[in-house]
């Protein structure tokens, strides 16, 4: 699951990141607002080492971002981030108090900016099955509203259908490239099933995380 999720998301970045760079640059004045990571705060910013009651030691790093904006859309995004990643951090902090094992040892984020549009990507790294949970949140600080996938595609000069066509082609090429050795080692039906699962509508659609 981690490999498929990371694989799909990396292709989305290649295809959709151009949307965050496709706006024509507006004329800037001395009083023009600055759009950068100063508009992002962290509700959790904790790092350290922890040993549970079995003697197992590990490092943890929790950095959960939030948008510094008061619009309803920003509040909705911050609430979604808190529910998805903040609650997981609280659960693991509780585990530390009880000397229990951690089920998630890291939350991290990256920002991608173009003008006022922020594409915020958050990763929650879980121990179970080596799973990474990805969250993608796109917000326009100038317009004070959420930016949809369709908005991103339009910024890149694409329709939803055009993006999906390009995404399927890119995922197919990437899958066959990185799994060349796997194709020779797996039975043909197992390899085909893995390929079909990767290219399924559940994984590759116009609604998948894009930034």
More confident residue, 91 or 203: 91
Confidence class of residue 205 from pLDDT cuts 50, 70 and 90? confident
* Highest-confidence segment of 24-38, 132-146, 165-179, 183-197: 132-146
Q: Which residue has the tokens 């800037």?
A: 28
Task: Report the SS3 class of residue 189.
Answer: helix
Phi, psi of 12 (to 5 degrees): -60, -40
pLDDT value of position 32: 86
Task: Report the SS3 class of residue 74.
Answer: helix
DSSP H helices, 137-178, are 149-155, 160-178
Q: Is the pLDDT of residue 189 over 60?
A: yes
Q: Is the pLDDT of residue 184 over 60?
A: yes
Pick from 94, 72, 76: nearest CA to 84: 76
Predicted TM-score (pTM) above 0.85: no
Helix, strand, coil share of the chain (percent; to 5) = 45, 25, 30
Confidence class of residue 31 from pLDDT cuts 50, 70 and 90? confident
d(CA 44, CA 20): 27
Q: 69 near 144, Cβ under 8 Å? A: yes
Mean per-residue pLDDT over the chain, rounded: 87
Q: What is the pLDDT of residues 58-95, one digit of tens each?
A: 999 999 999 999 999 999 999 999 999 999 999 999 99
Q: Is the pLDDT of residue 23 over 80?
A: no
pLDDT value of position 68: 97
Q: Is the pLDDT of residue 5 over 60?
A: no
Q: What is the pLDDT of residues 103-141, one digit of tens each?
A: 999 999 999 998 999 999 999 998 756 788 999 999 999
3-class secondary structure for 103-139? CEEEEEEEEEEECCEEEEEEEEEECHHHCEEEEEEEE
* R_g of the chain computed on alpha carbons: 20
More confident residue, 10 or 44: 44
Q: What is the largest CA-CA distance in the chain?
A: 63
All residues at 6 or more sequence positions from 91 whose CB lies less than 8 Å from its CB, including other chains: 103, 104
Q: What pairs with residue 42 in β-bridges?
A: 65
Q: Is the pLDDT of residue 14 over 80?
A: no
Task: List the strands of the sheet with 132-140, edge to edge.
Answer: 40-51, 57-67, 104-114, 117-126, 132-140, 145-146
Q: 153 near 16, Cβ under 8 Å? A: yes
């Amino acid at each position: 699951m981690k490999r498929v999720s990371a694989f799909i998301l990396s292709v989305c970045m290649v295809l959709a990141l151009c949307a965050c760079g496709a706006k024509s640059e507006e004329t800037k004045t001395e009083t023009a607002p600055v759009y950068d990571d100063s508009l992002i705060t962290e509700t959790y910013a904790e790092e350290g080492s922890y040993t549970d009651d079995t003697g197992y030691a590990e490092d943890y790093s929790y950095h959960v971002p939030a948008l510094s904006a008061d619009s309803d859309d920003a509040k909705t995004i911050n609430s979604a981030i808190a529910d998805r990643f903040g609650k997981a951090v609280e659960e693991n902090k509780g585990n530390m108090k009880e000397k229990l094992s951690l089920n998630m040892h890291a939350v991290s984020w990256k920002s991608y900016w173009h003008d006022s549009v922020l594409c915020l990507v958050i990763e929650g790294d879980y121990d179970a099955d080596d799973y990474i949970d990805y969250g993608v949140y796109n917000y326009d600080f100038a317009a004070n509203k959420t930016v949809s996938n369709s908005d991103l595609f339009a910024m890149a000069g694409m329709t939803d259908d055009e993006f999906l066509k390009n995404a399927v082609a890119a995922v197919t090429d990437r899958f066959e490239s990185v799994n060349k050795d796997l194709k020779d080692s797996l039975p043909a039906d197992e390899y085909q099933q893995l390929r079909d699962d990767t290219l399924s509508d559940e994984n590759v659609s116009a609604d998948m995380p894009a930034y």
